[in-house]
Structure 1
Amino acid sequence: MIHAVYPGSFDPITYGHLDIIQRGVKIFDKVTVAVLINPSKNPLFTVEERMELIRQATKHIPQVEIDSFNGLLIDYMKKKNANTIIKGLRAVSDFEYELQMASINRKLDPTIETFFMMTNNKYSFLSSSIVKEVARHHGQVNDLVPACVEEALRKKFAGHKVTF
């Protein structure tokens, strides 16, 4: 069985992330979407909220498992008995960073492979940061994120006044 891990902050999950997940389960037997716990970041959603949003957005995909981790990804991979890391790429700038990460992961454990997937062109501009910025200013995000995420964003920014 080929078990892949798709790590990230997923703050929040977008249609770009879902595209990678849906394509990943066509290639791998099991995909664990692993939410990184990074205390140095200031996420909008808690780890638990992010995991629940991912759970709701992927409930129709039985091969998907939702989890969280902190520390080194390679240590998490060993714990999960997974052998492949999935990374989505939107642009050349993503590739440069992800190549560095893949290289250090390969140095730490040469048995773990990194699988790069180009995002669907219609999501090449999309990031969680952009989604949060649009939602913060009460812009429409319904074509960028699943309905459960749109609702969660609306609640997070309900009392936020837009100033110009």
Structure 2
Amino acid sequence: MKIALFPGSFDPITKAHVDILHRSVPLFDKVIIGIGMNSTKQPFLDAETRKKMLLAVFASEPRIEVQTYEGLTVDYCRKAGAGYMIRGIRTVSDFEYEKAIAQMNHSLAPEIESIFIVSKPGYSSISSTIVREILRFKGDVSQFVPPAALEFISYV
């Protein structure tokens, strides 16, 4: 069984994330969305809200699972049985950053292959960081996040 992990904070999920996931699902038997718990960052949405949001967004996709994890992503890949790690690339700087991480991950876990999926041009400017900033100032983020996610961020 081909299992892939798509790790991230998903704080919140964006249409760019959804696009990468929809394009990834046909490549694998199962895709696990891994909500990474980063102890050095203060999340905008708590882990349980992010998990519920992702489950709502992908409710009709039986090959997608949503889980939370802590620690090294390659260690979680091993634990989950994932032989692949999906990474979305929006810009050249994303590529440089993700390439360095993929090379380090390969050194730590050569059996896990990193798969880069390039964002569609219309999504290249969308990031969770920008969406959070708009939310902080009570702006409308409906054009940047999937409709099913709005109910989870509207109270923020």
Shared topology, TM-score over 0.5? Answer: yes
Contact 1:132 1:153 in 2 (8 A): no
| Residues 1:104 and 2:99 aligned together | no
| Residues 1:75 and 2:75 aligned together | yes
| Per-residue deviation, residues 51-73 of structure 1 (Å, max 9, x unmatched) | 11000001111100000111111
What percentage of residue pairs aligned between the two structures are identical? 40
* Cα offset, 1:134, TM superposition: 1.5
Structure 1 segment 1-80 matched on structure 2, within 5 A:
1-80=1-80
TM-score for the superposition, normalised by structure 1: 0.92
SS at match of 1:155: coil
| Residues 1:130 and 2:130 aligned together | yes
Larger Rg: 1
- Name the Cα RMSD after superposition: 1.0
Who is 1:142 aligned against?
A: 142
Task: Point out which structure has higher relative CO (alpha carbons under 8 A, 6+ apart).
Answer: 2
SS at match of 2:77: helix
| Residues 1:84 and 2:89 aligned together | no
User: CA separation in 2, counterparts of 1:67 and 1:129?
Assistant: 21
| Per-residue deviation, residues 50-109 of structure 1 (Å, max 9, x unmatched) | 111000001111100000111111111111111000000000111111111100110011
Contact 2:49 2:152 in 1 (8 A): no
Aligned AA (2:90): R
Q: Which ranges in structure 1 are unaligned for 5 or more consecutive residues? A: 157-164
